[in-house]
C-alpha cells in the first residue's frame, strides 16, 4: 500500500515508517517539523535502505493536504499532534487547534481524495483517572473524563472518527490507544529527540544519564501505588510501530471502527524505570521528589488481549530492552 504518514518524522511516526518499509509498503511523510528534525530522513534510509518521500506541510492547511493527496494513496496513518500533558494544561487552546483542528482538516482532505482507510494514533489518556479496581483497562472501559486537555483532544478526535463512520460507512478506521511508548530502534539510529527539555519520563532520564540534565524530577511519591510514584504501562516504540502495520493490514478497506489497546499489560513505576535505566546505562541517575504534576494519574496499564486475538500483535520487548535501546540512541543521537 501507499500510505500517507502524518507526523512521520516524529518519534513514533519515524519508527512506523521503518516498519511499513520492512513490510513492503511505501510511506510518504508529511510533517511540519514542529517537534522533529529533517535529519531523521537520512537515519530512516540507513535502516530501511531507502529514504522516504517527505513533504513539509501542516495538516491544518487544507489546501496543502489536498495537493499532497493528489498523487494517490491507499491509506493514512495519523500521528501529527502535540503530545505533552503538562504543556496541554498550560496551553489548551494550542492543543485543541493543532490536534482537533488538524484532524478535522485532514479528514476533509482525505474524504475529497477518496482515501478511507485510516489508522489513528490515540492514547490511554482517554481513560482518564481510572479506578484501581478497573485495571487493567480494556477497550470497553468508559472514556470521556480526561484529566488534561491533551487527553480531551484524543477523546474528541475519536468521537469525530466514529461520527465520520456513521455518516459514511465506507470508512475503515483503526483507533490505537497506546500507553507509554519509549525506547528507540535497536540500531540506535532513530529515537525520541524532543525539542527543549523533555516532557516524558524516559527521554528525561536518558539526558540525566548522559549528564545533560542534573536530575530527574519525580512528580509525586504519595500516589496509592507500591512505591508512591506513578505507574505506567511502558511499551517499546518498535512494538507500537509494528502494531500500526498490523492494524493497517488487518483492516484496510474493511468498513468499521476498530479500537485496540497497545501496551505490555504490565505497569512499572517511575522509580522502577529509573533503576532499570541505571542498570542498562551503568550511570548513576539522581532524582528529586517534587509536587504532583497537573493532569497526571496514579496508575494505568492495558489489557491487550483484543490486539493479540484480532491483530496477532503482542509486545515482545521488556523494560530492560526499552532502556538499553533508549541509551544506545542517546549515545548516538549527536
Among 95, 127, 150, 277, the active-site one is: 150
* Residue 316 burial (C-beta neighbours within 10 Å; 0-12, 13-18, 19+): exposed
**3-class state of residue 48 by DSSP:** helix
Lookup result for grid cell 509525586: 220
Q: How open is the CA angle 271-272-278, to the nearest 5 degrees?
A: 90
Q: Are 199 and 207 in contact (CB under 8 A)?
A: no
**Residue 178 among the catalytic residues:** no
Report DSSP letters for 80-138, one per residue.
-S---HHHHHH-HHHHIIIIIIHHHHHHHHHHHHT--EEEEEEEGGGG-S--GGGPSB-
Q: CA 153, CA 82: separation in Å to the nearest integer?
A: 10
Peptide bond into 136 cis (omega under 30): yes
CB atoms under 10 Å from CB of 86, counted, come to 16
* Residue 249 burial (C-beta neighbours within 10 Å; 0-12, 13-18, 19+): middle
Q: Which three cell numbers stand for residue 82?
A: 502535540
Run of H or E residues at 319: helix 319-332
Q: CA 291, CA 196: separation in Å to the nearest integer?
A: 22
Catalytic positions, written as ranges: 150
Amino acid at each position: 500500500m501507499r500510505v500517507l504518514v502524518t507526523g512521520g518524522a516524529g518519534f513514533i511516526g519515524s519508527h512506523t515508517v521503518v516498519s511499513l518499509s520492512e513490510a513492503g509498503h511505501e510511506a510518504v511523510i508529511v510533517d511540519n517539523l514542529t517537534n522533529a528534525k529533517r535529519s531523521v530522513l537520512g537515519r530512516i534510509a540507513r535502516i530501511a535502505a531507502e529514504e522516504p518521500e517527505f513533504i513539509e506541510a501542516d495538516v491544518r492547511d487544507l489546501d496543502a493536504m489536498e495537493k499532497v493527496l493528489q498523487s494517490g494513496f491507499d491509506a493514512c496513518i495519523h500521528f501529527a499532534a502535540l503530545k505533552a500533558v503538562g504543556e496541554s494544561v498550560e496551553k489548551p487552546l494550542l492543543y485543541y487547534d493543532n490536534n482537533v483542528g488538524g484532524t478535522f482538516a485532514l479528514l476533509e482532505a482525505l474524504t475529497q481524495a477518496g482515501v478511507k482507510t485510516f489508522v489513528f494514533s490515540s492514547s490511554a489518556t482517554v481513560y482518564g483517572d481510572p479506578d484501581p479496581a478497573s485495571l487493567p483497562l480494556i477497550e470497553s472501559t468508559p472514556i470521556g473524563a480526561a484529566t488534561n486537555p491533551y487527553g480531551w483532544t484524543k477523546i474528541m478526535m475519536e468521537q469525530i472518527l466514529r461520527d465520520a463512520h456513521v455518516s459514511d460507512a465506507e470508512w475503515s478506521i483503526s483507533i490505537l490507544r497506546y500507553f507509554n511508548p519509549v525506547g528507540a530502534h535497536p540500531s540506535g539510529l532513530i529515537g525520541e529527540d524532543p525539542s527543549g527539555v523533555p516532557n516524558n519520563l524516559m527521554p528525561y532520564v536518558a539526558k540525566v544519564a548522559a549528564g545533560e540534565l542534573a536530575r530527574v524530577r519525580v512528580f509525586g511519591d504519595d500516589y496509592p501505588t507500591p512505591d508512591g510514584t506513578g505507574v505506567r504501562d511502558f511499551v517499546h516504540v518498535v512494538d507500537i510501530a509494528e502494531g500500526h502495520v498490523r492494524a493497517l493490514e488487518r483492516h484496510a478497506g474493511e468498513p468499521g471502527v476498530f479500537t485496540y489497546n497497545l501496551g505490555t499489560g504490565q505497569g512499572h513505576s517511575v522509580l522502577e524505570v529509573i533503576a532499570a535505566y541505571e542498570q542498562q546505562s551503568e550511570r548513576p541517575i539522581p532524582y528529586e521528589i517534587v509536587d504532583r504534576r497537573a493532569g497526571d494519574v496514579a496508575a494505568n496499564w492495558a489489557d491487550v488481549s483484543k490486539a493479540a486475538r484480532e491483530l496477532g500483535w503482542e509486545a515482545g520487548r521488556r523494560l530492560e530492552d526499552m532502556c538499553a535501546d533508549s541509551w544506545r540512541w542517546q549515545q548516538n543521537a549527536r
